[in-house]
Structure 1
Amino acid sequence: MQNTILLGSRKGLLVYGERAGQWQLAQHHFSGAQVSALLADGARWWVALRDGHFGPKLHLSEDAGACWQEVAVPALPADGEKRPILDQIWTLAVGRDGVLWAGCIPAGLFRSGDAGRSWQLVEALWQRPERAQWFGGGFDDAGIHSILIDPRDPAQLVLGISCGGVWRTRDGGASWALHCQGLWAAYMPEEEKNTEAVQDPHRLAQCQSKPEVFWCQHHNGQFRSCDDLASWQELAPPAPLSSFGFAVAAHPHDPLSAWFAPAEVDQRRIPRDGDFYVLRTRDGGRTFDKLQLGLPAAPAFHLVYRHGLVVDAAGQRLAMASTTGSLWLGEAGGERWQRLSAELPPIYCLSFA
């Protein structure tokens, strides 16, 4: 099992490590800066900062945090005489070919062949006419929060855009297609709720051993695609379990299993009735387990953001962190949880390393 957890917080990068069965804070970098995205690829770590009036920053470590170097930040193209301002790097992903991808707010996708030292905008996505329909969910602008790289072919990417739908390229970004058949938007007028380019997939996840299976935590429900994005099927956790939330994690080897971290919809964004739990399905969404052994009893007010729930490479150990500064470890697929700390800054993203 993986025994290092990277946490992107309101007060920098926190690194937790396990030694002799005990977890403790091992490193703290970029204290005071908000971490908007992070990525671990072996000993190579990237950390994106949303650094107040200093603007977005990106840092790279080649030695698991021992040393850091600042690298380039993507730049949005000029629109006439005006250049849009990059709010943040929202997600990072790297393929087996070593190509690094960055999804940003506003919703630009960038590619780097040199570990982030230089960037190229993916023009074909930026110029899509559907962009005129995109809009922000929790932010002023639409943003790319999910980049899924096909384990069989690094030229195939799937993106989740809030609010702009699910997009795929099969040729490294040269062309793009929408894949939102079956998704629907409760926040749109009845006649527009099925419009593909306005869907708000809060987070996407993909089964690594069966990559034609995808999971989506949408603004108004959980969905699964088992036909390589030809269609989405809505899942239906029984009442009073919540269908709203931000996070989803897919089992890397079992295409029938995934985890969600539900909340109450829209402005409230807290657990419904203070009941804090993780939802797990092991049969493709037909039934759900409510996992909360070791999690705080009601009333609890923890919210888990899009990048706040992850599963390790074996599919057995989970990590989850909240905007209220708690970090939990879930063993045996989430059957039991241990809180490693309740004293952290708000956590926006985390990853096993």
Structure 2
Amino acid sequence: MKEQRQVVAVENASDRPRRIVFALLENFTLLCFASAMESLRIANRMADKELYSWVLVGEGGDTISCSAGTRFQLDGDLGDLNRDDILLVCGGIEVHLATTKKMLSWLRREARRGMMLGGLCTAAYTLAKAGLLDGKKATIHWENSDSFTEEFEDVELTKSVFVMDGNRVTTAGGTSSIDLMLKLIATHHGETLANAVADQLIYSSIRTDQDSQRLSVPTRIGVRHPKLSQVIQMMENNIEEPISPSVLAKDVGMSTRQLERLFRRYLNRSPKRYYMELRLQKARNLLLQTDMSVINVALACGFASPSHFSKCYRAHYDTTPYRERGAQAARLSV
């Protein structure tokens, strides 16, 4: 069947396509990369003109694996780029292992050319490690935000879907790459083309840099109770220095007993138990994603002593913090 499509008029179309350089890190997330590249491909198709071109680079210039295990053929090694290129680093799981000295040196060198440089998914970590996000706003996947905040104090981390701060861009991962690409396409060639690309992607709700990457508290917990949501939000924002249930209850205008009943009814656990689970979840993220000592992890999650932290951790995860980290090291060495 012959393909029929409407060609979209574009703004600022030049004779030379704008080149996007995707630097793929080992175990990069396929969804964030594919979402970005497909958006560019569709923009070319809808304009019936090559507005964008792209190349894939990585250490060694041979092949590289995504987190799903599929290997990709690279177009080249970490070579010299052009000032007009847009460089997007694609991260994924275990990004700290993929952030090598060679990659960091290359990023610092290329950044001096003044090009737009971005990190998709967890690659904000790589940019921050290279010192390229100091004094900038950025975002990263919510699962990595705790460890990122602990390690990079000079970066203003947000919870946005994507962030553009000068010539630095970062995304939270997943489909947020689409939102960033639509923003760039609109900036380069107009809103009409960006909307046409979104239609082709069956992407009915285009997000901006003002949108949060995570679902609201009521949606996440499946309960729409304003005071319960408010208390949980306060808990999530006060992990290092936990607030007592009595203070939480007072702050939302109820008694401690009423708060207890509320948690039991909707979440089948006490406020104290729920708060502990939040703190232990953050502790596990820090243990697996950073080199912080167990003592510092304990302090960052509101535990007064390592022994108390270890006891609570073992009761919840059936292992100690030290064994958790040791088991991860063993898995990574295989």
For this structure pair, what is the TM-score category when the shorter chain's length is used for normalisation?
Answer: under 0.3
Greater helix fraction, Structure 1 or Structure 2:
2
Greater strand fraction, Structure 1 or Structure 2:
1
In the superposition, the TM-score normalised over structure 2's length comes to: 0.27
Larger radius of gyration: 2
Higher relative contact order (Cα pairs below 8 Å, separated by 6+ residues) = 2
